[in-house]
Amino acid sequence: MLKRILSIALCIMLVFSMAGCQSSNAPQENTDQNSSEKTFKVGINNFGLANFFARAGKAALEDELQKLGCEVLATVTGDVAARSTAIENMISQGCDAIIIEEGDINEVAPVLREAKEKGIIIGSMDAGNADFVDVYVSSDNTKLGTEAAEQMMAAIGGKGTIVEIVNDAGSMIRMRKDAMHAVVDKYPEAEVKYSFVYAWPDFYPDTKNKMESLLQANSNPGDIAAVYATFDGVGVAAADAIREAGLQDSIVVVGIDGDPEAYKEMRKADSPFIATLAQDPDTIARTCVQSVIDLLNGKTIPEQSIFIPGILITKDNIPAE
């Protein structure tokens, strides 16, 4: 009798554990072929795949959705117009949810509002927040930007000329930039004197060329004290230019992401790259997916905005290769 009871209990548990990406709204009566469970279709859109965070995030989004039994429609676009078109296609193909990774979700507000009106769940993965977003999952980019800036200011003794490398097309980039300025403003002997915009997606050659030109105009040790890279990829490009100019002993670089390429750069004995704030794109992506699926299944999520902590990485605690 005990074995039979345990067997029945186990069967019940297995039934409830298979909810995942399948909706069980079928009626209890007249069960025929029209009352079968529905598989959710989820569209995801990346704003390019040029950086580590984007690639890792896309892979985790797809993997988690597939593990939950979803049908995945994955797209990659490099500008706002193409992103809008991709979202329109997701709507026309009957997606139950759409997840936007990176960039600025507000730039495609009209088409996402259209999706929202059709009952489509909207998820944002590090793409900013808006009133039409159902769940927003990201690092706390203000905190990351602040910690990176504090590391930079400590390294230069709170004084000197600073270069920022930015691109306001990304909502997370704007937050990191603003956080850095709030820190630097506390130091009267420090100044963000130079600022340039990196190209996307070809950020490396563009950043290196612009940094080389800036160093040629400021070639004396002390002319520039630090470079604030709003993501690691441009920090690596700047570090290469600084080393080639022979100024690695007088300029420091800080970044944000935890890109393996940044770690590789930081391991070099003569690297000016001293710190990065490592994000966790895998956890951010999977948390976003799980929240979206909970909403599709009619559940209530505890928070609309979810922040996954970052980790300070310096030359003292660089992860193993």
Enter the tokens of residue 83.
């992103």
Kindly state the average pLDDT of the residues 250-277.
97
Compare 24 and 262 and report the one with higher pLDDT. 262
Burial of 91 (0-12, 13-18, 19+ CB in 10 A): middle
Flag whether pLDDT at 214 surpasses 60.
yes
Enter the tokens of residue 214.
């800036």
| C-alpha to C-alpha distance for 238 and 194, rounded to whole angstroms | 13
Q: What are the start-end ranges of the E strands in 144-269?
A: 160-166, 190-197, 226-229, 252-257
| C-alpha to C-alpha distance for 125 and 285, rounded to whole angstroms | 7
pTM here? Answer: 0.86
Per-residue model confidence as pLDDT tens digits over 136-173: 999 999 999 999 999 999 999 999 999 999 999 999 99
Q: Dihedral (C-alpha) 259, 277, 252, 51: value to the nearest 10 degrees?
A: 30
| C-alpha to C-alpha distance for 95 and 115, rounded to whole angstroms | 9
- What residues contact residue 255 under an 8 Å CB cut-off, 6+ apart? 148, 229, 230, 231, 232, 234, 235, 236, 262, 273, 275, 276, 277
Q: Residue 205: count other Cβ atoms within 10 Å of its Cβ.
A: 10
* Residue from 258, 264, 221, 256 nearest 240 by CA: 264
